[in-house]
Amino acid sequence: MFAVIMAGGVGTRFWPHSREKKPKQFLRIFDQRTLIQQTYDRLLPVIPNERIYFVLNTNQKAELLRQIPQAEEENIIIEPFGKNTAPCIGLAALHIQRQDPEAIMVVLPADHLIRNIATFQKVLRVGEKFLQQQDYLVTIGVTPDRPATGYGYIQFSEPIAEIDGIPIYRVKTFAEKPTLDTAQRFLRSGDFVWNSGMFIWKAKIILEEIEEFLPEFYDGLMEIENHIGQPTYWEVVETVYRQIRSISIDYGVMEKSRRVCVIKSDLGWSDVGSWDEVHKLVDKDKNGNGIVGEALVKDSRECLIFSTDKFIAALGVENLIITESEDAILVCHKDQAQNVRELVELLKRKKLKNLI
């Protein structure tokens, strides 16, 4: 089994700590290990280093090698620019299939938090056993513990197999991020899981599905394949990427394919999508304040104070995110946490390149 860690991203939601050269996955948020280091660490008991691939852009390669010096140069796949998950996955599948035509590949975002590591590793092993006999696209679903509106959902139907006590279900439908009322209905129904964006499949099968549902992109992949290992490779990749549309693997393939199934699991999972999500995940005091680093709060409620260098003091405030980096400070109402990326866009328009 091979693994692909999708490690691109442009570093917007976790500004001022995340930047274009050092997006969220390269940050230490919950641990002494960064999110990408944790992703790599929990794979190693299942998949050896030489079968772990990384997909990212040129600006982030140096930081990857600094944080994971074991990463093998030939396993680092560079995209000229981000075009969402379908191109990223297709390009990685192309390289892996050349290594092993029957390869099973796990696809993971680099920036997710998983606390139930043993369960995660068991799910990978179950997925591998299942795919040794079947040609399905397996997605990893997370059993919801609340009616979350920030995640997509997967509705499952009957089980089609059971391996080591874990059932594998046929997927009935995918659902976009719901309203609160709809999320509550999903939770009550008992047949919905969160869409984690983690997958297991054979490289050749995902390429077959890309050929069926994204034929123009598949043609581009075949052109790239003809130039792998040649001096013209990078020029061809750039040309193909300029021509293809940006599209997610969910929308481009998973929602259309007839070969999709899901393993539902309790992973202690979060996609850590915003500073507000960090507040939900960290330990809090009796007034709901989450403090990371050196800080002091008084007469304050429901705040996140995230310090990496400077001491932060907060007095008489509520529902704020306060965080500092070497060259910038963010003060943000928690309700606006999802909009931090808009600040980054404003910085770009003002040509403050040193801050992005």
Identify the CATH number of the domain in which residue 103 sits: 3.90.550.10
Summarize pLDDT for 282-321 with one digit per residue, the tens. 999 999 999 999 999 999 999 999 998 899 999 999 999 9
Q: Check whether residue 90 and residue 190 sit in a common domain.
A: yes
The answer to whether 297 and 291 are in contact (CB under 8 A) is yes
Q: Check whether residue 48 and residue 170 sit in a common domain.
A: yes
Q: Check whether residue 228 and residue 279 sit in a common domain.
A: no
Which two structure tokens, joined as six digits, stand for 114? 């998983």
Q: Check whether residue 175 and residue 306 sit in a common domain.
A: no
Q: Check whether residue 18 and residue 138 sit in a common domain.
A: yes
Q: Check whether residue 72 and residue 122 sit in a common domain.
A: yes
Q: Check whether residue 175 and residue 295 sit in a common domain.
A: no
Among candidate residues 223, 241, 270, the one where a domain is terminated:
270
Q: Check whether residue 19 and residue 36 sit in a common domain.
A: yes
Sheet of strand 329-333: strand arrangement: 290-292, 304-306, 320-324, 329-333
pLDDT value at residue 128: 98
pLDDT value at residue 244: 94
Number of compact structural domains in the chain: 2
Residue 228 Cα distances to 75, 82, 136, 258, 297, angstroms = 13, 20, 27, 31, 56
Q: Check whether residue 42 and residue 173 sit in a common domain.
A: yes
The answer to whether 83 and 65 are in contact (CB under 8 A) is no
Q: Check whether residue 131 and residue 187 sit in a common domain.
A: yes
Among candidate residues 270, 294, 327, the one where a domain is terminated:
270
**Where is 172: in which H helix or E strand?**
strand 166-175
Q: Check whether residue 343 and residue 206 sit in a common domain.
A: no
Cα four-point dihedral sign 325, 326, 331, 336:
negative
The candidate with the shortest Cα–Cα distance to 139, out of 240, 237, 254, 245, is 254
* Amino acid in the structure at residue 105: M
Of 28-37, 152-161, 216-225, give the lowest mean pLDDT range.
28-37
pLDDT value at residue 245: 93
Summarize pLDDT for 172-202 with one digit per residue, the tens. 999 999 999 999 999 999 999 999 999 999 9
Among candidate residues 270, 291, 322, the one where a domain is terminated:
270
Q: Check whether residue 293 and residue 156 sit in a common domain.
A: no
Domain boundaries, position 176: 2-270
Mean pLDDT over each residue of the chain, to the nearest integer: 95
pTM, 2 dp: 0.93
